[in-house]
Structure 1
Amino acid sequence: MKWRKAAAIVAGLAVGGLWGGQAQTAHADYSLTQALASAPQGLPVTDYFVIDKTSANSANIQDTTNAKAPNTQAVALTGNTNQIGRIWTNDNTEFNLNKNTTASMWMFFDGRTSSSGDGMAFVLQNDSRGTAARTTNSLGENMGGETMGVWAPDDDSTQTTPDSMVTRAVQNSWALEFDTYMNAKPTTGTVGGALGFDADYSATAKQHIASNYPAQTSTYQMRALDSSGKTNYATMVHNGLISSTNYRLMTDGTWHHLTLTWNAKAKTMTYAYNDKDPKTGAALTGDSQTVPIDTSLIDPDNTGKARWGFTGSTGTNYENNLVVFEKVPGVVDSTSTVTLMDTTLGQTVASNSTVYAGDHMKLTYDLTYQDGSQSWKAITAKLNLPGSVSFNADADGNVGTITYADGQKQAISASKLSGQSLSILLDEDLSMDNATAKITLNGTASHAGSATTTAVASTISNFVGSNAITTASLDGFNVVSLGSSMTLALTGDSTGTKTITSATDATVTAKATILGGSPSDVTIHPTVNGEDLDNVKITASQASSGFTYTVPADKLKAGDNSVQLYATDSLHDVSNVVAATIDYQAGTLDFGDVSQNVAYTGALTGAQQQLTPTTPWDVSVSDTRGQNQSWQLTATASPLVDGDKALAGALVYKTNTGESPLGMTSTLIASHTSDGTTAAVTDVSSDWNDRTGIFLNVNGGASAGSYNSTITWTLANAE
């Protein structure tokens, strides 16, 4: 309520002055206890705020008590009659006006409906008082009521302009008010005004949300109470108005979600109210307004920043005003999304779409760090997995993987599963240098019950860091059961490990058994060494009589190859997965012919010279491993010596583009990748001539002698 006792105040006594030392009545109000016990998941906030105590301030920080929302703190502004509360961010948590920013929070306004008052306001400011900024009366004392501790005080009925009023509001500010008590036009005889901020719009409105500039004269309009023109009051211009004709907009005893989105380029603020369900966290349409903000009015020195916080007040009526934060502006800007793929059908599962029992499903959560003054720290993924999807462990006991932008992978153990819930702490923080984490789980659609179709409910998952919280919503879908079934079994030599020496022999044979239906075709879904390959469609008759799947040669590796197959048909039957092992004995990599002794001879002339070998070099490599196999040949050479005497010279390797010394450091001589059509033997030295190959450089000061060196050839698999 806002200054309901104004009529009883003696003229000349400052209205706000009564609150400075007035005793407060204690209230046995259980809504605070209920609010803390039902608080949604939020952040600890003590590191971000300053509670100024230079004058009476009812604001404080409370630990919530909801066991499902651990480590959550609430900013409490008011909770009794005749209170003024304010809480401002510290210097390290200022609002950056030059960057797009999103803030999200939960707000609680008590459950006192029409008995509530007066509300609270979100404020951006560059008031010179910093964390002591608040509305004051003419004596410099706190001024609450309809001001909510931020708007200009209407405490002088003789004023005809708002010029004096605005000097006592929070300066250089923009405020978004959540007004729980309507201040309609005051009645004749009211002294001091202070009751008419909301007099200029619908008398049926009970509560409202609106914004404007507290210290600007254009925010207020002066009105005469009677024809004498000696008793006046101020109304307030409500920009971006959201109003209600009942008290369920705010004071209904439940938590309400707010998202603030700042567009730095357009200089607009969008506030979306009631955009999340307080019980489930599901996205709601809510009410939204977008308003322009003139940053020169809140940042006249063009610093690009603003302090932000909340103010609130009560009068004879009161309420518990609390805020729980999900995203603190400027600290971490992050997002999370979720996608469910039916990999059997090859399509994304959309809202209310249909999948079939047995379909293979891939669930992917994408977390993205966008900006912020801190890394997104200590992130716990609290996943609510969709019903009617079974997530089974692989051979290593894992149900999924987290892949980070830096390439690191984190396995998700099946032990983390509890029904359709999974909670896991991410190994890595996210930042600009490691901006994404992809959580992937593979499952199978399942069906239970007698109904043909099972409706799967939507799910909400939370990603709770120590300094930011995001949610991801997955829409519901339907799972249809089938009256037919299909099983798949390996046949012939595919039932055991199959050893081959040629890629053309890499085949798997299998047979399908179809019961309860007559499909027209069957699709084979292959996975080779963990990679999903192109599907192959065959007739149902071919599947039933037995079929052969040939592994693409370029997907084979030397040694064991894992080949998994499952089949689907035109009736949407999905078979079991069968796994075959192919041991590919893909030949060998070895030297062919390599010259054992090569001589260089010449007569010393006192000048530098380069000698060619007296007999040609012969160097070749034999690679029978097949297509896409690679190798590298390198060489080192020991020093040329005659007993204890070293040659003034060195061996060099020359190509058409230059020469490299052959010494104790490896020099690349040749490399090769087989395309499957070239000969198994590569003659490395075939194109060596009087300009390319290995030569002996002899310096002008060399001494005669018989010098020896050993060349060491190294052949390595280049994969």
Structure 2
Amino acid sequence: MLKRWLSVGVVMLIMGLTSGVTAHADSAEDHALATAPAGMTLTGDDASLTTSDQAANQAGFVPIRHGQAVALTTGEAQAGAVWSTNTHAFHLTQNQTIAAWVYLGCGQQASDGLAFVLQNDSRMVNATPQFGATPIGETLGVWGIDADPFPATATALSRTAIQNSWALALSTGRHTQANATAPGQANSFDLGATTPYLAAGYPGSGTTYQRHKVSGTLGGLLTPNRYYYSLALQGRLAVPNLANGQWHHVTLRWRAATHTMTVIVNDRQATTNAAESGTRRTVNVDLNRVDPNHTGYARWGLTAATSTGVTAPTLAVLTQSPRQPKQVTSAVKPQSKPKMTTRATNAHAAVTVTSHRSVQVPSTHPTTVTGRVTPTGTASARPTVQVTLNGQRLATTKPQPNGKFAVTIDAAQLRPGTDRVKLVAQTATRRTEPTTVALHVAGKLTFAALSTAPGFQKMPVATKNELVTRQPGWQIVVQDTRGTGSRWTLSAQSGTFVNETTGRPMAGAPVYVTDGTMTPLSRVPTTIMTHTTNDAQADGKTNVLAQWSAKTGILLHAQPGTAAGRYHGTITWTLNNAPE
């Protein structure tokens, strides 16, 4: 019997693009920094803390009235960490104390929280969870990644965390998704919490993660079982006021003889620094999990991560470190270490920056980073300034006799999105920790590739409802060079497909298929994908088709009653600069 065939092509495409960049207010951060209590100066020639060289690490050091603050995150979908330098390691064989003021925002606008961490991960200052494209807030920058609804074991999940580590979490308790909607969402670590809380655990241990099962059809025989995880932590303590828009003092006291850590929260009054009783918990720490090679040391630090939509800053002001036994109660006295301050300017603006903030600069103008190196104490040799841009070393700069310097970066050297300038003051024998200036070069949201012209596969005339897959050669690639944290939505709509010869409509239409759902494309836009950009991944490019399989994405729903022939139609693609 002779088969009749039908061929369907998408012969015309219309690209819609709404432009513009959303501005984010940072008034909460400005207020928090303006009201920050006194703290330590953390950078300089004998720096106690440092950030990593990873572009995705958003942490930085911010000047405050007395000392410096650590800005771990300042916006949504970010991760940040600061770690002790080698000379300021945590001595596990000696009693130690770490103390800090922390700021997590307020109420529903609070950040996800932060963690105090001890670790001997082989990645050292580059230790971080295996996020993939976008940081996940419930990890606080230290726990494992629960984004797979079919994980093999809790041990497999734990391998995505910071290894050989112990963490004290200060969580705002927002991640409590449960039941059938929870698998694969990475939003359940705080299950059981009704308020902000603190608790401790081992991120790299499978026993830290409690598995919850969502049974598939027929006990998993027809459709597979799915899973999600919550955290099984030690010493959980509710701290209801932790996210009330105020600074809170936290003290950690390590007792080497008993291998115990006592944490005291709210033990100082923010405005007067007066001692208060606070609330405390003491937990045991298994050093075999933290220091498996029995070195007697660990790297200590602070980590944080934020979810999409969480814009509150995560801040800390250290008042005592393991190598700084004296409590800071007033302005920090000058110490014998060089300090570096920076300022970024361009032809149209002069913006004072801190090491963690992005500076908006035109993409067609050179940008000048200026600063001053101020030797203090007994420093004798005049330092030079080593400059790197996005990991590439630029020319070394000699400051003027008064310590001022200026580094001009040509527009051709900058890339759209976030560029990072690192400055290191050095002499023949000594150097400071890097000071980072983040330059946000105006980028754009666009289709890097868009072609669906190959259409759908040729098929016999349908005698029943069928889904027809795409021909090879489709390309849908979005590029967002506006910087990490930018968001976009891709949508599609379609009119009627018609026979090229007769003009008669086809019985059927393109549909958007996801796991378990099928949405016909109509003249009303259908959301295909929403995404938060991480410009450290593939220069901000997202291959939409990589998210689809042969049975998902845009397919053709062919129905009985369509005559043989060649059909064509229009799919309109719209790229918006924020989720709908």
* TM-score for both structures, normalised by structure 2: 0.50
* TM-score for both structures, normalised by structure 1: 0.41
- Rg comparison, structure with higher value: 1
